[in-house]
Amino acid sequence: MNFGGVDRMNTQATRGGYPEQYYPNTEELKKNEMRVVALGTGRPFLRRSQANASWLVELGNGDKFVFDFGFGSQMNFTALEIPYSEVNAWFATHLHTDHVGDFGQVWIGSWAGGRLKPLEVYGPSGLEPKFGFKHFCEKQMESYAWDTNSRVGALPAVGAEVNIHEFDYSKTQVVYEYAGVKIISFPAVHQVDGPVSFRLEWNGLTFVYSGDTTPSQIFIDNAKEADVVVHETFNTVEQLMDRSGYDERTARAIGTYIHSAPEEASVVLKEIDPRLAVVFHFFNDFDTTPEIRERIRRHYQGPLAMATDFMVINVTKEHIVTRMAEVSEHVWPNKSKHAGFGEAKRKPMPQMSDWLKEAQLFPKQDSPRGLIYKGD
């Protein structure tokens, strides 16, 4: 349930003909349209109602990009019934687990889920190689050695491949540019060196995603003239003390030094003045969100969405419409989108030790016609 709602949006006059709810695979994007879906909007502490940070951006040219992939977000991604092969690339803002914790699912889940091309992942460097995205990915992949080796032969070989694109966190630069899509990375102010934010530009539309950041002039400068700006804000210090049990020093450190307090995000959003401002990274509950909204409204008076998982934002030059997705908890892969999966090239399957083979009731090597019980 979306307790936050959307201010100054979604009146009957501004809905642009969109249904009240979004049902996956029922609406084809127009050629000039962008769709943004919140896959994860909560805090580092994972809960069922809000996964860790993740945002999907779909474009009218067929391209799809995911920004951050924190714990739990992949369950929300698969609920949208999007084939993994349709995702062009995945982008990480920084290496906190609530932003990259689902890497194993992104890599291996998409391999088993039908991806028939190498996984393309982008992320920032650090002050030292061990703090960079490349190191993170390689060590994650190394830790899954048994898992991935056991899948060789059963799954297409190309799905195991990962192309890691690490870029300099300290520069404002284009990190992806193809088919009219430009994605720019710029430094974010978040605890230590390394984090970044992203700006996606396509067909005259712009989406800006903060990742984690405290208010900064860098963000304001790079988010100007954006259609949709997704900026983090945390629960208030008082809420962190009352609801999370933090002492005041810890609450202030987390809510203001490490993250943006609502009243601080308010100043940033006022300076940017986007067509739609979206705030996330707080627990969106009926008894917490009104206070967060009130503090954001101290400075920013424009269109505002209080994000929760499965919020959907459709963007054209004429309209910005927000609503919620209606999804199933029992989704199966879309078989019609897995063409070529069975014929894709595979490597030889690894073999188990002979003594384990001897213990099988249904020897696989000796059963070309299916299951044959050894006692027959």
pLDDT in tens, 104-137: 999 999 999 989 999 999 999 999 999 999 999 9
Spell out the residues 6+ positions from residue 67 whose beta carbon is closer than 8 angstroms to its own. Answer: 54, 55, 56, 57, 91, 93, 198, 209, 211
What CATH code would you report for 6-358? 3.60.15.10
Q: Locate 41 and state its tokens.
A: 């909007």
Beta bridge partners of residue 91, listed in sequence order: 67, 122
Contact 251, 241 (CB under 8 A): yes
Half-sphere exposure (Cβ direction) of 207: Cα atoms closer than 13 Å: 28
Which amino acid type is present at position 134? Answer: K
**207: phi > 0 → left, psi -120 to 50 → alpha, else beta; which?**
beta
Q: Cα separation of 192 and 125, whole Å?
A: 12
Give the closest residue to 40 by CA, choosing from 281, 306, 309, 326. Answer: 309
Give the closest residue to 230 by CA, choosing from 261, 206, 248. Answer: 206
Summary count for the chain: helices (H), strands (E):
12, 17
pLDDT at 331: 87
Q: Is the pTM of this model over 0.85?
A: yes
Going from the C-alpha of 41 to that of each of 2, 64, 211, 231, 314, the distances in angstroms are: 11, 19, 11, 11, 18
Beta bridge partners of residue 155, listed in sequence order: 152
Q: Please tell me what DSSP assigns to residue 236.
A: P
pLDDT at 47: 94
pLDDT at 15: 65
Q: How many C-beta neighbours within 10 Å does residue 225 have?
A: 10
At 10 the three-state DSSP class reads coil
Contact 158, 117 (CB under 8 A): yes
Domain extents for the chain? 6-358
Q: Cα separation of 180 and 121, whole Å?
A: 19
Widest CA span in the chain: 79
Going from the C-alpha of 5 to that of each of 209, 246, 318, 323, the distances in angstroms are: 20, 27, 21, 9
For the stretch 283-307, pLDDT in tens is: 999 999 999 999 999 999 999 999 9
* pLDDT by 10s per residue, the chain, length 376: 444 566 654 443 346 789 999 999 899 999 999 999 999 999 998 999 999 999 999 999 999 999 999 999 999 999 999 999 999 999 999 999 999 999 999 999 999 998 999 999 999 999 999 999 999 999 999 999 999 999 999 999 999 999 999 999 999 999 999 999 999 999 999 999 999 999 999 999 999 999 999 999 999 999 999 999 999 999 999 999 999 999 999 999 999 999 999 999 999 999 999 999 999 999 999 999 999 999 999 999 999 999 999 999 999 999 999 999 999 989 887 766 677 888 889 999 999 999 998 998 887 654 444 555 455 5
Q: Cα separation of 309 and 1, whole Å?
A: 9
> Is the C-alpha dihedral spanning 100, 159, 325, 321 positive or negative?
positive
**373: phi > 0 → left, psi -120 to 50 → alpha, else beta; which?**
beta
SS (H, E, C) 129-178: HHHCHHHHHHHHHHHCHHHHHHHECCECHHHHCEEEEEECCCCCEEEEEE
